[in-house]
Amino acid sequence: MRIKTDHKWKNFKYRNEVPEKVLHDYFEHLPKEVDGFIHYTKRWWHVSDFMRIDGGDFGTIWEGVSSDSYFSGRLSKYPKTENNIK
């Protein structure tokens, strides 16, 4: 299994920083007062798109996963004190 990362923290974006078209097309189901958006590799995610993982192959380093397909996905790690994601 191969994991590619740039090892850089990405700051969470507030709702008002997300383009209106992206909010309408992809995040219309979220309440209006919700923040916690991530912009990475020309795509937008919300923290609710990631499922928490405990233990296993990834759980010792990574804390969340969002699958793109059967063969690929995104792993996330949340810092204990900052407002960003890796």
Work out the number of other CB atoms within 10 angstroms of the CB of residue 37.
Answer: 21
Would you place residue 79 in the very low, low, confident or very high pLDDT band (cuts 50, 70, 90)? low
Asked whether 51 and 64 are in contact (CB, 8 A), the reply is yes
2: in domain: no
- Does 41 share its domain with 69? no
- Does 16 share its domain with 28? yes
Total domains in the fold of the chain: 2
Q: How far apart are CA 2 and CA 72, in angstroms?
A: 10
Q: pLDDT tens digits, residue range 4-16?
A: 777 788 888 999 9
Tell if the pTM clears 0.85, that is, is over it: no
Domain that holds residue 31: 9-49
- Does 44 share its domain with 22? yes
Q: How far apart are CA 35 and CA 54, in angstroms?
A: 24
pLDDT at res. 32: 92
